[in-house]
Amino acid sequence: MILQAEHISKGYTTTNGRLEVLRDITLSIERGEIVAVMGPSGCGKSTLLNVLGTLDRPDSGTLSIDGKDVSSLGDKSLSRLRNETIGFVFQFHHLLPEFTILENLMIPLMLAGREVLEAHKISEEWLSRVDLSERQDHRPASISGGERQRVAVLRALVNKPKLVLADEPTGNLDVTAGENLMKVMSDLVSNEKCGFIIATHNPKIAEIADRTLYLNEGILSSS
């Protein structure tokens, strides 16, 4: 099991009082499993991913990732855990515009301690897996939205994380580009045997998942 969350709750204080976003959520993810979390915009899907990805701390409950209880870890330890274990894919690709596609993949590898030549070779291999080898010297602005998101997916996977969290990754793409991206993500996750959680409001995207959960009024359920 790559992730185990038990009785997770999270809320925020607003000018109108306390807003409970997540209520007593329990969830587990196995290696190689794809889980879709569906719900309307504003229901708390992003908050859930932020908590599961250790970007935000829950108000209560416990969270274990790859067998480690992260609830009591300090900020430095959490940062190390994220870098070594978790890959993130966002609705907006957040590629660095001044670098080429190849360099955007090389950077996280080099930050993880890879030498330049090794990072270059690994990045070329990943780009070839999604038919982007001919684009490797292009900058993000000169390729399509679907291609940019494919690069963002590769960037999340290039260090072979054990858990990938994707927040509406197809939100800015047309239907065809979105379906193609999800096929790429599904194939890569299957090959790398990592756990994969995708937050989406699109039932078509959720079809690639092994199971689908629904978030409504802070409660996560299977129906």
Write the CB contacts of 163 (distance below 8 Å, at least 6 apart in sequence): 2, 3, 29, 53, 65, 66, 85, 86, 87, 194, 195, 196, 197
Adjacent-strand bridge partners of 220: 215
* Among the four given CATH numbers 3.40.50.720, 3.40.50.300, 2.60.40.1930, 3.50.50.60, the one describing domain 3-95+161-221: 3.40.50.300
pLDDT per residue over 110-124, tens digit each?
988 899 999 999 999
Each residue's pLDDT tens digit, 40-94: 888 899 999 999 999 999 999 999 999 989 988 888 888 888 888 898 887 666 8
| Predicted pLDDT of residue 23 | 96
Is 177 a residue whose pLDDT tops 90? no
The per-residue pLDDT for 14 is 83
For the segment 148-160, the average pLDDT, to the nearest whole number, is: 86
Given this model, what pLDDT does residue 90 score?
76
Domain boundaries, the chain: 3-95+161-221
Average pLDDT, the chain: 88
In percent, how much of the chain has pLDDT > 90? Answer: 49
pTM of the model: 0.85
C-alpha closest to that of 169 among 210, 139, 206, 138: 206
- DSSP symbols for 135-152: GTTS-GGGS-HHHHHHHH
- Report pLDDT for 137: 96
CA 174, 195, 89, 143 torsion-angle sign: negative
The answer to whether residue 179 scores a pLDDT higher than 80 is: no
Q: Does pLDDT of 214 surpass 90?
A: yes
User: Cβ(215)–Cβ(37) under 8 Å?
Assistant: yes
Tokens representing 61 are 């409950």
The alpha helices in 53-144, defined as continuous H runs, are 75-85, 101-111, 116-129
- How many whole angstroms from its chain centre is CA 41? 17
C-alpha–C-alpha distance, residues 9 and 88, integer Å: 22
Q: Tell whether the model's pLDDT for residue 161 goes beyond 80.
A: yes
Q: In what order do the strands lie in the sheet with 86-89?
A: 86-89, 163-167, 195-200, 34-38, 211-216, 219-221
